């Protein structure tokens, strides 16, 4: 495999089929509030298929908000499984995340799911991956998906150099990411806790 091959993934021969790609999820914990948002674009290969998708869900009686990046069907399967874990552990976000990550790694059907989850409640901000990783950033800022890096950079700057509230920072960070990432649009679903 050549290093300069843009289709090379490191996982075998190049797969020419189009992929569902991109999204941006951003969460900011600031001044006692947490806000999380996702863009609405769904892309298949180089084609925008939908502009107004909702990639953010409230779970456990609205006490936990989750956003996903990755394949939509996979994310919906994970939402359902995560909601079961939240019910089982009475809304304890860290414990539910650990149990979901364990299942995700061990269960054959879940292991093939391609998605990342950002999950927040009033106390915790977590990234949950299919490799079993659960990450709680030091600064309370999470960005996942193709535009996640752009959104995080914008949010960190806004937290440090503005008087904006968490929701305003998230909205502006998402707007900036949409201006840079072709797989992210400016139709934003935002939730605050």
Asked if 23 is an active-site residue, the reply is: yes
State the catalytic residue, choosing from 9, 23, 47, 131: 23
Q: Contact 67/118 with Cβ under 8 angstroms?
A: yes
C-alpha dist (Å) from residue 62 to 44, 80, 167, 181, 188: 31, 15, 17, 30, 19
Secondary structure (3-state) at 11 = coil
Q: In whole angstroms, what is the distance from residue 126 CA to residue 133 CA? A: 10
> Which residues are bridge partners to 171 per DSSP?
none
Q: Contact 24/177 with Cβ under 8 angstroms?
A: yes
Annotated catalytic residues are 23
């Amino acid at each position: 495999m050549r290093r300069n091959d843009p289709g090379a993934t490191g996982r075998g021969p190049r797969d020419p089929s189009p992929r569902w790609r991109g999204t941006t999820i951003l969460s900011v914990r600031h001044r006692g509030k947490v806000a999380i948002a996702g863009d609405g674009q769904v892309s298949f290969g180089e084609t925008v298929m939908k502009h107004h998708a909702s990639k953010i869900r409230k779970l456990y009686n609205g006490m936990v908000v989750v956003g996903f990046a990755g394949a939509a069907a996979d994310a919906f399967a994970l939402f359902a499984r995560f909601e079961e874990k939240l019910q089982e552990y009475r809304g304890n976000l860290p414990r539910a995340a650990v149990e979901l990550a364990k299942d995700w790694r061990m269960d054959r059907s879940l292991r093939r799911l391609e998605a990342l989850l950002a999950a927040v409640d009033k106390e915790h901000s977590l990234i949950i991956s299919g490799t079993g990783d659960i990450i709680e950033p030091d600064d309370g800022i999470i960005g996942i998906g193709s535009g996640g890096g752009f959104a995080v950079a914008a949010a960190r700057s806004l937290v440090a150099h503005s008087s904006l509230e968490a929701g305003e920072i998230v909205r502006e960070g998402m707007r900036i990411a949409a201006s840079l990432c072709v797989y992210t649009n400016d139709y934003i679903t935002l939730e605050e806790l």
